[in-house]
Amino acid sequence: MVKAKWRSVDGIVLLNKPIGLSSNQALQRVRRLYQAAKAGHTGALDPLATGMLPLCLGEATKFSQYLLDADKRYLTCIQLGKRTTTGDREGEVLTEDSVPALTDESLEEILNGFRGEIEQIPPMYSALKHEGKPLYEYARQGIVIERKRRRVTISNLTLVSRTEDTLTLDIQCSKGTYIRTIGEDIGEALGCGAHLHSLHRISTAGYLPENMMTLEEFEAIAEQGYDALDAHLITMDTAVEHFAKVELPESDTVNMMFGRTVPSPVSLEHEAVVRMYDQGTQRFLGLGQIKGAFIRPYRLVNTSEFSL
């Protein structure tokens, strides 16, 4: 059998990750469909979770950190009355308590304590590392590692629906937020404990949920060939749209792509990062950094591999 050749392909894929797959497993499935020589995801979703997982192919991997750092939005269902070893439905039940009678007012008061800037202790069942090993590996051995509190921002927390023992929440949050921990902490605030029943990531960095596709959809498109697949790539500069745009004349474009500092056509704060484009072609060149009246290369696209 002839082994398929990896190819140079650059852009971002918005995958609606299915339940049961790790983020890396999902990434590898999509990478093989595209036969992309280089690929990476932008913040893991647990196998239990579904929803938006932006995948960076080729030169787009240079900008994946900005998607990792971006705000995210989730729809989650919290099961009240049961604490589990993992903080979600896949763990063993540790305790069971009756759920108190809740009024809309009393529940809203509890939820209000989780809005704005809050502190969290990361869960043991997480990919955070201690001495080079993920915390979940210690947790599986019954070892508890002390974790530092971290501050995160919950910019929106809306109660979508509720039953006697579940809460469905729409949460928009900053990077590093553990929705599982929010669920557990709400359970403690209610005095009955809780765990995560389901988690769906609605969006990341402002990408629209209607633009993501399932693995099955990508697999069906792949049967039509690479051109059909490539038509669903999102340009890599969308990952850095929050930076100011700068257009460089042709001579400065050439110098920049050779790694040289060029005059800045705009006046911005010193050390500000900008996204750069060739003035004539509007081709994305990468990121530059303002140094007084100049722009120095910061993170450039490799033009020899640039295919979009």
Q: Residue 246: how many CA atoms within 13 Å on its side-chain side? A: 28
Q: What is the DSSP string of 29-47?
A: HHHHHHTBSSEEESS---T
Residue with tokens 């497993």, as numbered in its chain: 25
Element (H, E) at 26: helix 23-34
Contact partners, residue 263, CB within 8 Å, separation at least 6 = 252, 293, 294, 295
Across the beta sheet with 284-291, what order do the strands follow?
Answer: 244-248, 273-278, 284-291, 294-300, 262-263
Contact partners, residue 239, CB within 8 Å, separation at least 6 = 12, 54, 56, 60, 63, 64, 66, 67, 205
Q: Catalytic site residues? A: 46
Residues 158/170, Cβ–Cβ less than 8 Å: yes
Rounded Cα gap, residues 224 and 226, in angstroms: 7
As beta bridge partners, residue 170 has 75, 158
Residues 42/77, Cβ–Cβ less than 8 Å: no
